[in-house]
Amino acid sequence: MSLLHLYLQDFRLFVAARFDPDPVGTTVITGPNGTGKTTLLEAVAYLGTQRSFRGAPREAMIRAGGERAVIRAELVRDGLPLLVEAELAAVGKSRAQVNRQAVRTRRDLADAVPVTIFSPEDLGIVQGGPARRRDLLDDALRMLDPKAGAVLDEVERVLRQRAALLRQAGGHLRPDVASTLEVWDDRLADAGGALAEARQNLTEDLEPRVVESYRILAGAGPAVSSVADATSVGVTYRRGWDGPLAVALSAARADDLRRAVSTVGPHRDDLDLELGGRDARVQASQGEQRCLALALRLAVHRLATERLGAAPILLLDDVFSELDPDRSRALVHELPPGQTLLTTAVPLPDGVSVATVFDVRSITGGQQNPRPL
């Protein structure tokens, strides 16, 4: 998988821009802060995940004063050309296409543009709420497992419909509400149980890779207290209910009606992270947390490379500013060969091989003007 050309229109600060990275090696993107380095990576990541890795809503990615933004990427996969396009709308529905065919599920984009993102915001995977950790697992599932991707789409649809019904009910279990709620509960029990199982299996596959990656990253730099306990890194998927999901949904029905939200299901699950038997979210140092967050990302990247037969496009957003040179080198040396887009505001550590260096200011105001989808 290689990205050959990226075209942007009204995306963040770019009115129109074209970016041509090295197709097989590492492209380093330089430039002062605020000139669009991270924006290029954000656009590529959006094509693979349909969201901003910076946590921004879609309307924030549209240039001020614009009504829509367009991202168009020309790639090659298994020797065949691939065209992936996305239109972000300020009002109305956003759209995406693969080879001019409308994309109906996020799984289609994850398959077309597999990406792995490392960024300073990754610290939030450990420090932040459960949603960040669920996103880590779900992005990996969409990239690795078509069946799990379909299950994720089904869970999201059912939760939206169930939430709308609960709001409409106004706290009253009328006969029509009860019968419809039974339908959505049955579907959520089936899809939610399958999703929890897929996440559980993925977590078990990732854990030994997280342990190994943490050992390498933590041991490469100045000592942190848990280096000696690297083999006791714990990554455990925790469901938010006991027993069959159908039974848990039935037991929570009165509370759901009162609160007008779904209080039980895979959207409430979490990933427990431990270092040396301690809760990494609240009892680890920030240095340990950062190493663990990187180890999680690296484990997903390595597993995806093994499963897909080639490395996803790797996006490294300013990670070297957060790491000492030894850990920076350890991270790069652990990465499988493949195309890498790297932004940096600091000099690269010694030993990092680069194919080309690109100043982002050279593409501002480019001539390419992608048409709407």
User: Per-domain residue ranges for the chain?
Assistant: 1-114+319-325+339-373
Task: Say what the pLDDT of residue 154 is.
Answer: 96
- At CA 86, angle to CA 81 and CA 90, rounded to 5? 170
Q: How confident is the model at residue 364 (pLDDT cuts 50, 70, 90)?
A: low
Provide the token pair at 261.
């939200």
Buried b (16+ CB within 10 A) or exposed e, 222-234: eebebbebbeebb
328 falls in which pLDDT band (50, 70, 90)? confident
Give tens-digit pLDDT for 147-166. Answer: 999 999 999 999 999 999 99
d(CA 264, CA 216): 38
Per-residue pLDDT at 105 exceeds 90: no
Q: Residues 54-65: what's their mean pLDDT?
A: 92
pLDDT at 228: 46
**Segment 307-323 mean pLDDT:** 91
What is the sign of the dihedral through the CA atoms of 356, 311, 71 and 320?
negative
d(CA 74, CA 82): 6
Model confidence at 263, pLDDT cuts 50, 70, 90, reads very high
- Give the 3-state secondary structure of residue 56: coil
Summarised one tens digit per residue, pLDDT across range 74-98 is: 999 989 999 999 999 988 889 999 9
> Is residue 226 over pLDDT 50?
no
pLDDT confidence tier of residue 223, bands split at 50, 70 and 90: very low
pLDDT of 222: 53
How much is the pLDDT for 230? 52
Structure tokens that stand for 25 in this block: 């090696």
In this prediction, residue 221 carries a pLDDT of 58
Q: What CATH topology corresponds to 1-114+319-325+339-373? A: Rossmann fold (3.40.50)
CA distances from 356 to 22, 83, 217 (A): 7, 24, 26
Residue 111, pLDDT > 60, answer yes
Instruction: State which of 40-44, 92-96, 330-334 shows the largest mean pLDDT.
Output: 40-44
Q: β-strands 68-77, 2-11: how paired?
A: antiparallel
Q: What is the rounded average pLDDT of the residues 279-294?
A: 92
Q: What is the mean pLDDT of residues 313-325?
A: 90
Give how far Cα 65 sits from Cα of 8, 10, 13, 61, 68, Å. 16, 9, 11, 11, 9
